[in-house]
Amino acid sequence: MLDIEALLQRYGLNEEFAAQKALLIVDALLPTRLRPYVTAIHLRRGVLTLGVASSSVAQELRYLSERLIHDVNEHLGKEVVRRFRFESISAGPVAPRPVPLLTPSPPASESEAAFDHVADRPLRSAFVALYTMARARQEALRERGGTSCPACGVVFIGDGKLCPGCRFDPIEGSAGED
């Protein structure tokens, strides 16, 4: 029987899966005093973007970044995060929240129904696991004040109507502006 890591590798999904895991893990590895002021936004090309409530929080994270990057990569078992990027998201705490590693997942029947057309059972299981994790991340971002981008549908935390990706590289048919 294939394990999930081998299956993800086989279908070229291991990098996205590791990125999603990194987003969930970094919150648990942050110092308790900083958690209310920081949220993981996305990971692209080894750069983990963190939303921070102030420049002083970003500065403290810069001092801790080498250790945090090491801890995240060690937890993942490979180098996924090379550096942090900080983005200002609000003037106060992100939102009061408990700090579970994972948020509740969508009902299993909903996740499974989304991929019941995939005949390959191991591939279907991998897609269900990835979909469940992505939905949990979306809900966590919504709980922290995130909104859906009208152009692409991604949930993000930040200023404006469009997500950073659509502002940078507009989807055909969207204006690329807020």
Angle at 84 between CA 80 and CA 90, to 5 degrees: 130
Q: What is the pLDDT of residue 84?
A: 92
Instruction: Based on the fold, state whether residues 33 and 91 are members of the same structural domain.
Output: yes
Say if residue 126's pLDDT is above 90. Answer: no
Are 129 and 46 contained in the same domain?
yes
Domain that holds residue 156: 146-178
Residue 2 pLDDT greater than 80, yes or no: no
State the residue for tokens 């500065």. 59
For residue 70, what pLDDT is reported?
A: 93
Question: β-strands 83-88, 47-52: how paired?
Answer: parallel
One domain, residues 138 and 157: no
pLDDT: is 70 or 16 the higher one?
70
Tell me what percent of the residues of the chain surpass a pLDDT of 70: 81
Please count the structural domains in the chain: 2
Mean pLDDT estimate for the chain: 78
In the chain, the amino acid numbered 57 is V
105 lies in the same domain as 30: yes
Query: In angstroms, what CA-CA distances link 122 with 4, 21, 128?
Result: 8, 20, 10
Which whole-number Å values give the CA distances from 96 to 34, 146, 156, in the listed order? Answer: 12, 14, 18
Higher per-residue confidence, 178 vs 20: 20
